[in-house]
Amino acid sequence: MTIDNSFVSLLSFIDAEGGCDTCWQWLSGTNTFGYGRISINGKRRIVHREMYKSFYGPIKNGNVVRHSCDNRRCCNPLHLLQGTQKENVKDMVERQRIPSMISNEIVLEMFQYWEKGYSQRDISKIFGYPQGTISNCFKRLGLRKV
Ligand SMILES: [Zn+2]
């Protein structure tokens, strides 16, 4: 583990008093998805990703850092896993963190289209849901083009 200045400054915003077994709550600002946000050298960074990198090293291109604890503000490295976006979506669908108006199977199917490069508008036409519904759904899943 390498400790640099950015890591030390991260720690001052984290409540880690509960020890290794508990969530380390991020106490400062979050982004629209509820993930801890910080500015490092003028660049916007997502806190749990920075935490992951400080402890485990680089994140593979296109991969996401997931929370095993389901707590988006959590920065406990023991609760962070690296995985693909697909694994992340599967995870969230299984834990029912998506709008209930669309079934899990459909969301996974939509994701497969999205991954192939279809736009939300295309997906809206294919599945017959309003684009806003799909957009909401994808936002909840934290999907973005990589
Ligand atoms: Zn946690």
Map out the domains of the chain as residue ranges.
Answer: 5-83, 86-141
25 CA → ligand 1 middle, Å: 8
69 CA → ligand 1 middle, Å: 5
Using the 8-state DSSP alphabet, how is residue 28 labeled? S
pTM for the whole structure? 0.64
The string of pLDDT tens digits covering residues 14-24 is 998 888 889 99
Strands (E), the chain: 14-15, 25-26, 37-40, 43-46, 64-67, 80-83
35 CA → ligand 1 middle, Å: 12
- Band (pLDDT 50/70/90 cuts) for residue 146 is very low
Please list all protein residues whose beta carbon sits less than 5 angstroms from ligand 1, which is an ion: 23, 69, 71, 74, 76, 79
